[in-house]
Structure formats: C-alpha cells, structure tokens
Amino acid sequence: MDSTKFDFSTRAIHHGYEPGNEQGSLNPPIYLTSTFAFDTAEEGGEMFTGEREGHFYSRISNPTLDHLEQRIASLEGAEAGLCAASGMGAITSTLWSFLSAGDEIIADKTLYGCTFAFMAHGLPRFGVKVTLVDFTDADNLAAAISDQTKVVYFETPANPNNRLVDIAAVSEIAHSVGAKVIVDNTYATPVITRPIAHGADIVVHSATKFLSGHGDVIAGLIVGSKEDMTHVRLVGLKDMTGAVMSPLTAMLLLRGIKTLELRVARHCESAGKVAAFLEAHPAVKSVSYPGLASFAQADLARRQMAMFGGMIPFEVVGGKAGGIAMMNRLNLITRAVSLGDAESLIQHPASMTHATYTREEREKHGIAEGLVRLSVGLEGVQDLIDDLQTALNAHNQFAA
C-alpha cells in the first residue's frame, strides 16, 4: 500500500508497516534479537561492505526500528529516519557525525541543559569551536558565521523559556556558507512544525516526550536526507556513540505515535486555557506562551506553528522561593522533570533541567532563576486550573 499520499494521522498509524509481510500481525513484531544469521559466509561479508542490503547486527539496523524510522521520516517530511537510545543519543550521534577538530558549531543561546553541557564542556575538549548567539535576531548569526561554521543548531520553541527561532531565516544564512542546519523539534513535534519544510537539513527529537506520550521510554529520533542518515547511522551511531534504541522501545513509540496528532491537539487546547488563566492571576508575574497576544514573538508563532504547544514557562511573584513554594502546594500536577506525558508535570529549570548552566550563564542565556515550567497533560483542564488556583491563591497571601 502506498501511504505517502495519506493525511498525517493516517500515516502516523500505517506508514512504514505492512501486516501482510508479517503473517497479518496488526502490530509490528518486536524483533528482539542482537544478530541475524547469514545463509553463506560470502553473504555476510557483502553486508559488511554494503554491497548487499539486509539486517546483520542490531547496532546497525533492526526490522522493528526500520518501521519507526520510515514512520517518523514520513511525518517530518524527510527522506529517511534513524532511531537512537535517547534524545541526547540522537543529538550527540548527529553532531559527532558532522563535526571535526577545527570546525565551528554555532548554536542558539537557549538550549536544554544537557545539550548546553555537551556544547559548552564536551565539544571544546575535542577541538570544536562552539559559539552561542541569540538566534531570535537572525542578524546575530549572519555576523558570527564563517567558512569554519559546519553546523548551525537550535531548538524552537526552546527549552525552557519558549523562545522561537525563525527556521527559514536562519537556514538561509547557514546555507550561504554550506553549514548544516540541525533543529531539535522535541517541543513542537511534527504536528506543530516541520522544520525540513522551512529549510532545515536535519531534525532531532527526544522521543521520550510527546512522541512517546506515555512517559514509559527514553528514546531519540533523527530525520534528514538518505545520505545524511546513512552517514549518522554508520559514523555517529554505529562507531562513536553506540546509542542504539531497543526494539521494545521502538514498538512502544510506534504505539504512541498512532495518537500523536490527537494528543498534541489536546495538550495545546488545554495549555491555551491554562496560559490565559495564569496570565490573569495576580500572583503570576509573567507567562511565556506562543498563543498569548502578549507573547514577544506572536507573529513568528503564527507563521511557523500550527498550534502553540503544551509547555508553559511562567514566573510567580516572589522569584525562586515563590515558585518553589507554589510548586509544593500543588496536589494534582506532578513535580517531575520531562514533558509531553499524559500527566501534567511541573519543574524548576534553574535547579533541575538547566542546573548544568552556572547562575551567571542562566542570566546571560535568558533563563530566569524564578521560572517554573509546566508541561500541560491530558487531564481535564478545569482540574488543572483548580489545582493551580488553589496553589496561587495561597501564594497571594504568602507574597503579601
């Protein structure tokens, strides 16, 4: 069946898998095997040189992962996909594949904490020059870029503060010197933004989040051209990190992705209501949600995002102490890192996901000490608002 012509949700359910090839099994079998038998020794040798196609060792490829790779490539509008053991496995396998000593990577200044640590402390140890600039103004990239720049990297919306980057504007500048554009699309998912259509070359995901949707796996995905994905598979993933996804995880992701569009629509609908509630509450100092009229980059949000996401960073009156006290008063919303789960999760970036930055770095990179970050889940939205209201009403007295 040619599923390429189908709607997003149809492809999320069917693309890349034919039950008829697997004894009619509605769901793909989990090929829980590390290795694959060769008919002849010669055939095995040919697979190692690439003269013959086929699976021969699950660090290189596996049939269950193969279905997922085709599916995510289709949803992101890319030629090919690749699975990894975690979001960090996806990011590092990709960057190790395209950077060498003497090269430069230019990244946006707001990044998930461990991506920032890899840039600030990991890559420079191997002779890669790392430059972090503010991509919300693409002119900053134009001023910094040179022939030494091999990769341009960013998140949009960025973790944790929802800053947006204009993918088309940044890609045009990057391509003027032949640099590859790599976008972390974890926050948006392909339901909201497909970076390849805006000019990016490669998309990486922490599939731990919305793509899985159920908080039961650590996983990463990568998409791009066939040539780039083969390069990442054989260099970054196979030799440099070995950060390979388990077939069991691939099956859970294939299951989660079937409902991705439905879930993301609900996350966004509820987040819009929660953001409006928070903005109107006197104990809340600021809310950064792309769907609010007050959002600093509201025009770009409308141009680049089909919906406005499930993530709400906000500050309450009383800074860090106020934020922590409010978090501790919540009963339904769970105090935990991660995002995109059915359960609403709340965390404090400065002491948790972004504790890899020093306090000075957080200030320079736009991550306020008092910021709390809410991942709006799939519960009844009024229950979430009631929980926040109880915590914030008590906060009013606390602040006064």
Binding segment for ligand 7XF (CB under 6 A), chosen from 108-116, 135-143, 145-153, 189-197, is 108-116
Question: Residue 337 interacts with ligand 7XF (CB under 6 A)?
Answer: yes
Q: Give me 54's structure tokens.
A: 């086929």
Kindly tell me which of 222 and 317 has the beta carbon lying closer to ligand 7XF: 222
Q: Tell me the closest approach of the beta carbon of residue 178 to ligand 7XF, in angstroms.
A: 25
Other CB atoms within 10 A of residue 169 CB = 18
Active site residue 112: yes
In 3D, which of 232, 190, 246, 219 has the Cα closest to residue 81? Answer: 232
Q: Which of residues 77-96 bind ligand 7XF (CB under 6 A)?
A: 86-88
Question: Residue 215 interacts with ligand 7XF (CB under 6 A)?
Answer: no
What whole-number distance in Å separates Cα of residue 246 and Cα of residue 323?
A: 38
Q: Which of residues 360-399 bind ligand 7XF (CB under 6 A)?
A: none
Q: Tell me the closest approach of the beta carbon of residue 122 to ligand 7XF, in angstroms.
A: 14
Binding segment for ligand 7XF (CB under 6 A), chosen from 109-117, 223-231, 292-300, 386-394, is 109-117
Question: Residue 344 interacts with ligand 7XF (CB under 6 A)?
Answer: no
Question: Residue 110 interacts with ligand 7XF (CB under 6 A)?
Answer: no
Kindly tell me which of 28 and 87 has the beta carbon lying closer to ligand 7XF: 87
What whole-number distance in Å separates Cα of residue 85 and Cα of residue 222?
A: 11
Question: Residue 119 interacts with ligand 7XF (CB under 6 A)?
Answer: no
Rg for the chain (alpha carbons), in Å? 22
In order of 155, 270, 276, 278, the CA distances from 286 in angstroms are 22, 18, 11, 8
What whole-number distance in Å separates Cα of residue 376 and Cα of residue 272?
A: 10
Active site residue 228: no
Question: Residue 64 interacts with ligand 7XF (CB under 6 A)?
Answer: no
Instruction: Choose, from 109, 180, 209, 233, the residue flagged as catalytic.
Output: 209
Instruction: Pick the binder of ligand 7XF from 64, 159, 162, 297 (CB under 6 A).
Output: 159
Is the Cα dihedral 373, 378, 384, 385 positive or negative?
A: positive
Instruction: Choose, from 52, 57, 59, 216, the residue flagged as catalytic.
Output: 59
Q: Tell me the closest approach of the beta carbon of residue 78 to ligand 7XF, in angstroms.
A: 18
What whole-number distance in Å separates Cα of residue 35 and Cα of residue 180?
A: 33
In 3D, which of 187, 185, 378, 156 has the Cα closest to residue 269? Answer: 378
Question: Residue 356 interacts with ligand 7XF (CB under 6 A)?
Answer: no
Residue 55 CB contacts under 8 Å (≥ 6 apart), including other chains: 36, 61, 62, 63, 66
Other CB atoms within 10 A of residue 22 CB = 14
Kindly tell me which of 118 and 277 has the beta carbon lying closer to ligand 7XF: 118
Active site residue 209: yes
Question: Residue 136 interacts with ligand 7XF (CB under 6 A)?
Answer: no
DSSP secondary structure letter of residue 137: S
Residue type, 9: S
CA angle 147, 149, 155 (to 5 degrees): 150
Residues with catalytic annotation?
Answer: 59, 112, 184, 209
Contacts to ligand 7XF by CB under 6 A = 86-88, 112, 114-115, 155, 159, 184, 186, 206, 208, 218, 220, 337-339, 353
